[in-house]
Every structure is written in C-alpha cells, then in structure tokens.
Structure 1
Amino acid sequence: MGSRAATGEEHPGRKSPTRQVQVVVRLRPCLGDAQGEQQQPCVRGVDTRTLEILSKRNRAETVQYQFDAFYGEDSTQQEVYVGSVRPVLAHVLNGQNASIFAYGPTGAGKTHTMLGNPEQPGVVPRALLDIFRMSREQCNQLGGPEWTFSISMSYLEIYQEKVLDLLETQNVDLPIREDRYKNIFIPKLKQQTINSFTEFELHFLPALQNRTTASTKLNLHSSRSHSVLLIKVVKMERTDPFRQLTGKLYLIDLAGSEDNRRTGNEGVRLKESGAINTSLFVLSKVVDALNQGLTRIPYRDSKLTRLLQDSLGGTAHSVMITNIAPEYKHYFNTLTALNFAAKSKLIINHPFTRETIQPIGECQRNWRIKAAP
C-alpha cells in the first residue's frame, strides 16, 4: 500500500521460503447482562494453544480447536503483544513485510486488542514504540552513522467499499492499484514521515477520530469500517554499496460481522453492516480458494481482500488475532469465527527481503532480492 518507492519497483525475484499464517485466539472476559447477571459461557481454554466450545448438537459434548496460541479471559495486552506480535517486527526492520490483523464478531474486543487505552495500551502503540526502539538499537549495533532509518505512516479506512484517507480527509474513494510485480498500492494516499512515538501520536490520534463509528445494541462504539495503519520502514546504508531495505507493517482492525436482527440496525446502520458482512464473506471466499489451490483467488471482489492480498497468500509474515466472546448468546458468531480461524492457519505466505543497491556514480538502483531467513 502507499506509493511505490521512488527508486524502483518491488518484485519477488527468486522463490522464497514459505511461512504459514500465524493464528491466535483471544477470549474476552464474560460480561453481565442488563441486570448485571453473569452469562453462561459456551467456550473455555484447555491450555496455551487449545480451547473447546460446546457442540451445537449436544451441549454435553465439546469440540476442540488448536491454534498457534490461545489467550484466555485473564490474558493481558502485554502477553498478547509479546507472545504473538513483537516477534515479527524484526522482519520489518530487515526489509520484509508483516501484517497483524484483528478478526472476530462485533463486540468481541478487536479494537481493544489493537488500540487499548492509556492504562492498557494495545498492539498499535506497543508496536510503534518497539519499532523506534529497535531502529535506534540497530543503528548502534550496525555502526552508528553508517546506517539510518526513515519511518513513515499512512492510515485509511474502508467504509461502504470506499477507501478513505484518515490522515487527509479530502482524499476520498481512492483507487487501489497493482504494479507489474503484483504489489498493491494506493495513489495519493498520504504518507507522513514520523521521527518519534510522540510524532506518531500527534498524527494518529486526530486521524483516529476521523474513523467511522456508531452505537448499536451490541456495542456502544461499534466500528463501521475496516481500518488499516501502514508503517513503512526504510533502512539505508550511507556508505558504498548504499544498500536500502524497505519493510512495511500493516496493522489492521477489521469491523465485526453483524446479525442485524440482534443489533437492531436500520437505515444507514443497516447499509453499513451489509457492506461489512459482504466484505467478510468475500474474505472467507479468498481463504477457501487459497486452501483449495484454485487458480483464481477472488481478491478483487472487495476492497478489503484487495488490500489483504499481501497478507493472505502473499509475501507478508501474517498474524491473525481472532477475538471471540464467551457468552452462550454469542455461540454461533463464536463458532463461525473459530471455523474461519482454523481455515486461515492453513494459508501459506512467501516472505522475501526487498533490497536495493546503488554503487557510487550510478543513478539507477539495481534491485536485489533476498529470500527470507
């Protein structure tokens, strides 16, 4: 996403090692009903990778699922981040792409996992703090002034199948393009250079207020769009051969699927939920097509899947954080989310390193692609 590098175009070169999409599940705590009474749970953890849900045919039986990690209702933001997100950041600082996205039904805690609050910061602020810290440490380890880092951000939402720039609100209904090497980018999407976490907050917090949210019967602050925060990290060598490595981190908060009979959606809310549900249905079709090895993958059938093309079956190190609710009234949404998560962890990606070299005296950079370590 974002504009292509001015020095050239990124392409995969030779075949690279494969990486499965990492899928983790986070169970939010049980919430009381309108009278404050605790609801009956339908799902529980077994160990750090396994959970079980009641069988829809017989409540006396359970069905087990196993993922790369399971975070129970007592899990902290720190545990989720350190266990499943922080390990992929090193790839971004070394010229590879990574994608972290929160999936699950409305009200399951996706936005809390990604953003959190000042007392319990989520994935986004923790990742940005670590990126700035790790870039400083790498500069020191690699010889100080011989290496420099350039970090920039873009922030968008997909609202009713339109791509909207949250940093520059005049940029509406932006097109999605693909270059000859299958790289997805968005012309005119604002790219803001940031030199510190304080600068990141200066631009991100106002942009966050531009995201479309509304109240429904299931969620007082329901996200009515999918949001994508793109962090681009360029590591540049200041001496011959002037290597440049470019990595991108996609931090994605997906809107949740909704049952309009339970949310009470009408009018605009109904239209919004229709667009959300349609895009998530296409996402499920993409996952099925990838797992079946089909020739045509329907990425182009929605703006969401078009932007996730690199994350699912593409070249990114991908982590899906599936958020679920334990109450029995959410049983079918939880079961659907678990089934989708189980299918997603079968997807294979092909990460590679994007590196350019410019010998002294040459204006044209030559692209050199390294396989992922």
Structure 2
Amino acid sequence: MGDKKQTKVKVVVRVRPQLKENSKCCVVTNTECEKPTVEILNHRNIRENLLYDFSSVYDETCGQQYIYNNSIKNLLSKPLNGENISIFAYGPTGAGKTHTMLGSPADPGMIPRVINGLFQLLSTEDRLQWKYTVTFSYLEIYNEKVQDLLEPASIDLPIREDGDRNIFVAGLAEKKISSFDDFKNYFGPATNNRTVAATKLNDRSSRSHSIVMLKIKKSALMPPKREYHGKIYLIDLAGSEDNRRTGNQGIRLKESGAINKSLFVLGEVVDAINNNQPRIPYRNSKLTRLLQDSIGGSCHSLMITNIAPEEHYYYDTYCTLNFASKSKKIVNTNTACIKQLQNSGKVFITSFSSEGICL
C-alpha cells in the first residue's frame, strides 16, 4: 500500500496584447524571476501595488506554441498511464480565452495542439505490445443546460454518477478518432453549433462554457492483460461579465446571469475546498458538477488565466487574479484507472496511485 500522489492545481497567467496602441495599461509582468509575477495597482491604496506570483506568466510576446511547449506538452503522457488531465481557460469576457483554447487556422490554440500532440505521441508507442483507442465528446453548458455539440438536440442532458463515483453525461455522443484529421472533421462543424453573440466588449463573445472530453484506452496485447483508462478535459469557460459595460439586454442579460452564477459557484467551490469545509457545493451548478474531477478531484489540472492589460479592465483583472491565487492552493489527488483482465475473463477495476501502487 502507498500514499496517493497529490498535486496542486497549476495556475499560469496569460496577458493578451493591447487592442489599441495608446490605451492605458494597468498590468506589469515580470517573467524573468524565479517566481514569475503580475503586478497591478491597489485600488484601496494607490501608494502601493498588488503583487501575484504564479507557475508561469506569459506576456503579449508569448505565442501559442511557446505556451503549449512550456505548460502542456509534458502532461500528455499521463492519460496513457490511466491518469486524467484537465486544461481550462479562465478570465473575463474579452480577455482572450477562446483564442487561447481554439486559436485560428493560422495559429491554432491549445485544443488542436493537444489533439495533434496526443496523436504524435501515440505514433511513437510500441504497437506490438499496445492497442490504443481514442474517443471524444464535445458539449456546452448554455443557460444551465448541458447540450451536445456533436449531435445537437434541444434537450438538457442529465449529469450522473456511476458506481465508481465517476461523473458522466448520459446520452452524450462519443466519436472514435484515429488521427488529427478525424478530429478536425467532427470538431469544425460542432464548433459552429456553439452559442456566441456580440456584446460591447467582444464581437463574438462565448455565451456558454464548452468542454471537449477525450477518453484514451491503452490495452495490452500480451499477458498480463491490462487496460489503462485516461481522460483529457479541454475547457473554454465563458467570461464573467459586468452588464453595465457589455450593454446586455434581453436574452444576452439572461445568458450573462447564467454565466455569472456558474462562475460564482465555481468560486464557492474553490473557497470551500481551501477552507476544508465538509460539503463542497459541486451540485450547485452544472459547470462545477462537470469540473468535479478537475477542481479538488482526481486530475492533473492546469488553469490558464487570461487577463486584459487595459486600465478599463482593471476591476475584472483584479477579481481574476484573486481567484487564480486561490485556485493554485487547491490540491488534487491523482490516481490511475487500470482494468486487470483475469484468466476467468472477468475485468477487475483497480485504482492505482500515480506511482503505480495499488490503493
């Protein structure tokens, strides 16, 4: 018997470029020191600044490939050993979360880079000893309803828990993929199903949280017959919004209310975990229910905190950095899911620690 391996949620900060060359900036980054920092004015005392340190800080000069290589690439081997990883973008609307996660055809974001990197990694594996199966699902949470983006329908899919306390979405479509091109063929049309709209701060503001879920099964072709089951969560959160600044009305106002409520509950979950409360309010929103593995669960989690440098984003930046600072204190317990096929033909599921010790 051995101890479970515990890791803190890794939090990095990405500062997007200024949208207007001469706009006033409220953010100062220092990426050269041992602990990279972000500095902003203290609105309660203008004679001092607030200093935050994180695992990494990426300024406007850092491109998508650089961030992927430095913070994400080394995580991709973990699902092949039956562990889960979660990568999600957090920040206010207009701070560049969707650019970070999706990017563009000319400059892909973390989602396409992770998929491409995963299949590159699989191409180096020993195919005489192992067989790999990869499936993916894609959903959005819009107005507190879970909706399938691969096979859209007007129903709200239920979130359930299986006998091993794994969270899953009943009825969610899964597509088997064997290459990056397979993924693109499904993902492109599905992304067009995501709910976006214009606000005063963003021409194509995400009106929903979106989650790409990949399941990787690694099966031994020779005795002892084992299967490793790992997952990858790729999450693009909708941004928190101040409706006085976005000009939201009608349906936009209702959407904003649902977004802000789910992000508020996410903050409550983080506070409850950090304060060692006996009850963590995961069930208070669909988002936190689905993030149960990623925040305080069995996952290697990376939070990419996106902030805007302009002075008129100051309060959003202040709140985002405070949330990010609280999030980096969260400890996840990482276990690997391994299925052992016995001579009888029955499958026995056992959780192993990250170091391969039976728990």
The two structures have a TM-score, normalised by structure 1, of 0.92
Superposition misfits of 4+ residues, deviation over 6 angstroms: none
Q: Which residue of 1 aligns with 2:15?
A: 27
The answer to whether 1:368 aligns with 2:350 is: yes
Paired residue for 1:208, among 168, 173, 191? 191
Distance across 2 between alignment mates of 1:168 and 1:369: 32
Paired residue for 2:85, among 68, 89, 98? 98
Q: Which residue of 1 aligns with 2:23?
A: 39
Cα offset for 1:15?
Answer: 5.0
Paired residue for 2:67, among 80, 90, 95? 80
Q: Which residue of 2 aligns with 1:5?
A: none
Cα offset for 1:258?
Answer: 0.4
Counterpart contact for 1:245–1:355, Cα < 8 Å: yes
Q: Which residue of 1 aligns with 2:329?
A: 346
Distance across 1 between alignment mates of 2:2 and 2:244: 50
Q: Which residue of 1 aligns with 2:5?
A: 17
Residue deviations 1:70-100, cap 9 Å, x none? Answer: 0011111011111111121111121100000
Correspondences of 1:137-286 after superposition (within 5 Å): 137-139=124-126, 144-170=127-153, 172-286=155-269
Counterpart contact for 1:171–1:189, Cα < 8 Å: no
Correspondences of 1:111-150 after superposition (within 5 Å): 111-139=98-126, 144-150=127-133
Distance across 2 between alignment mates of 1:343 and 1:165: 31
Return 5+ residue gaps in structure 2 as ranges: none
Residue deviations 1:57-82, cap 9 Å, x none? Answer: 34442111000110011111011111
Structure 2 letter corresponding to 1:70:
V
Distance across 2 between alignment mates of 1:369 and 1:241: 17
Distance across 2 between alignment mates of 1:306 and 1:14: 29
Cα offset for 1:366?
Answer: 1.3
Q: Secondary structure at the match of 2:329?
A: coil
Distance across 2 between alignment mates of 1:252 and 1:240: 37
The two structures have a TM-score, normalised by structure 2, of 0.96
Cα offset for 1:179?
Answer: 2.0
Cα offset for 1:136?
Answer: 1.7
Q: Secondary structure at the match of 2:94?
A: coil
Return 5+ residue gaps in structure 1 as ranges: 1-12
Count of residues paired in the alignment? 352
Counterpart contact for 2:130–2:218, Cα < 8 Å: yes
Q: Secondary structure at the match of 2:258?
A: helix
Residue deviations 1:126-177, cap 9 Å, x none? Answer: 10011111112122xxxx3221100010000000000000001026300000
Distance across 1 between alignment mates of 2:211 and 2:2: 29
Q: Secondary structure at the match of 1:350?
A: strand
Residue deviations 1:299-319, cap 9 Å, x none? Answer: 000000000000000000000
Distance across 1 between alignment mates of 2:47 and 2:22: 21
Q: Which residue of 1 aligns with 2:320?
A: 337
Counterpart contact for 1:171–1:188, Cα < 8 Å: no
Distance across 2 between alignment mates of 1:61 and 1:38: 24
Correspondences of 1:286-365 after superposition (within 5 Å): 286-360=269-343, 362-365=344-347
Stretch deviating more after TM superposition (176-185 or 148-157) = 176-185
Quick one: percent identity of the two aligned structures? 51
Distance across 2 between alignment mates of 1:57 and 1:348: 31
Residue deviations 1:204-262, cap 9 Å, x none? Answer: 00000000000000000000000000011100011122110010000000000000001
Q: Secondary structure at the match of 2:324?
A: helix
Counterpart contact for 1:316–1:349, Cα < 8 Å: yes
Cα offset for 1:357?
Answer: 1.2
Q: Secondary structure at the match of 1:295?
A: coil
Distance across 1 between alignment mates of 2:331 and 2:165: 17
Q: Which residue of 2 aligns with 1:8?
A: none
Stretch deviating more after TM superposition (323-332 or 180-189) = 180-189
CA RMSD of aligned residues (A): 1.3
Counterpart contact for 2:31–2:56, Cα < 8 Å: no
Q: Secondary structure at the match of 2:150?
A: coil
